[in-house]
Amino acid sequence: MPLTELLLPQDIGRAVQLLQAGQLVALPTETVYGVFALAADEQAVREVYRVKNRAFDHVLNLNVSSFEQLKLLSENQPNYLEKLYNKFMPGSLTMILEASEEVPKLVNNGMTTVGFRVPAHPTTLEIIRQTGPLVGPSANLTGHPSPKTAADVLTDLDGKIAAVLVADESISGVDSTIVDLTGKTPNILRQGALTIKEINEVIQDDF
């Protein structure tokens, strides 16, 4: 593969074109850079695992752009799901839900659950609106620090992915909070930008 193409925020159309062609594109979120690919394209998803040197049992999240997409790709949602969505999404929250049959098998590799993210970065969110659901783990080799800049991405992935979009907004570098919503009450699996107190304050009347 030739050297990775550098895209600017106005190059949304080019990013969409590459993703729809099955290519991998690194995009900024409000937390870190992710390496994105069409969730419905099995070959592209396999390539994400390959370029990151990521084990296939280390499953991927789905990045969606609407509550409707989240509901289509999940089932047995808790009654407070829409409250959490409206309060924290787009934003630094990953919600674990039971996966529907619509989730591509290679994304969660046979698991009954899948994580959902709605990135708050406006350029990346617009790209997802145009492409449909994307996988987008951090744009680094497994075990390396998560990238906060396009230059960080290129350190690990130059020549391994089609393009990287240079962000013009700040990136926090703080990972999203992962919360499992499949039990009786929410369970934090990874503490990130949001706390369990903030989450419980939104849904306390539902228990």
State pLDDT tens for residues 114-159.
999 999 999 999 999 999 999 999 999 999 998 999 999 999 999 9
pLDDT computed for residue 67 by the predictor: 97
Give me Rg for the CA atoms of the chain: 16
Structural domains in the chain, sorted by start: 5-206 (3.90.870.10)
pLDDT computed for residue 80 by the predictor: 95
How far is residue 53's CA from residue 119's CA, in Å, rounded to a whole number? Answer: 24
pLDDT computed for residue 170 by the predictor: 62
Helix, strand, coil in percent for the chain, rounding step 5: 30, 20, 45
How far is residue 4's CA from residue 157's CA, in Å, rounded to a whole number? Answer: 8
Residue stretches of the chain with pLDDT short of 70: 1-2, 168-170
How far is residue 44's CA from residue 47's CA, in Å, rounded to a whole number? Answer: 5
The pLDDT mean for the chain works out to 93
What are the tokens at 107?
Answer: 């994304």
Q: Phi/psi zone of residue 206: left (φ > 0), alpha (ψ -120 to 50 degrees), beta?
A: alpha
pLDDT computed for residue 175 by the predictor: 80
pLDDT computed for residue 169 by the predictor: 66
Other Cβ atoms closer than 10 A to 127: 23
CA 189 from centroid of its chain's CA atoms? 16
